[in-house]
Structure 1
């Protein structure tokens, strides 16, 4: 019998960077895998450029965790490749992304305090 998925978003933290970037992209709407890759590369100015194995492995893990789900909706067939799988963020995925952003914010605030990186006087 499979282990039940956690329902507390904090149990998924910290998220791996690629997983968080995928959730960030899906926060803007549904995307297929290659569109996710392009957006991540653009957003990170090429610093994060996942290969197919990393990207689709992370997508599969997010699907298994219930943080994203496959979408049954398709764009106009003339504008799309029928082989593409589209993904969207689940409600749990949104909660986990929000918890990760809050965790990162707290870490940045601590770093600013510890290392004097606050606003210039």
Structure 2
């Protein structure tokens, strides 16, 4: 497991694909919904990140289709992506546990 955390956009893209295959626009909408609008990836950033995740073998192109005369790729989480996402979830959970422990210790020290 990597000690360094995953970039937020990569984490969100993998999370958006964890339960369903999606095309680029649907992924962007899912990220926006998951973050209550805090993260709304621009087209260039979205497809740049998707290309990096493809190159790393974390996602795959499930199929290509033509909709309204335009080509569209549908992406899916690859097995390596699912594993990396699980590792990142474990790392984040451990960090949150430590934050909560220290906050509780700090609250106790203040009383």
Q: When the two structures are superposed, what TM-score results if normalisation uses the length of structure 2?
A: 0.85
Aligned length: 104
SS of residue paired to 1:83: strand
The structure, 1 or 2, with the larger RCO (C-alpha pairs under 8 Å, 6+ apart) is 1
What is the rounded CA distance, in whole Å, between the counterparts of 2:4 and 2:47 in structure 1?
20
- The 1:72/1:58 distance shift into structure 2, 3 A limit, reads same
Distance apart, 1:25 and its partner CA: 1.0
RMSD (Å) for aligned C-alpha atoms: 1.9
More helix, by proportion: 2
Where structure 2 has 5 or more consecutive residues not aligned to the other structure, the ranges are: 106-111
What is the rounded CA distance, in whole Å, between the counterparts of 2:4 and 2:53 in structure 1?
13
Could you list the runs of 4 or more consecutive aligned residues of structure 1 that deviate by over 2 angstroms after TM superposition?
none
Q: When the two structures are superposed, what TM-score results if normalisation uses the length of structure 1?
A: 0.79
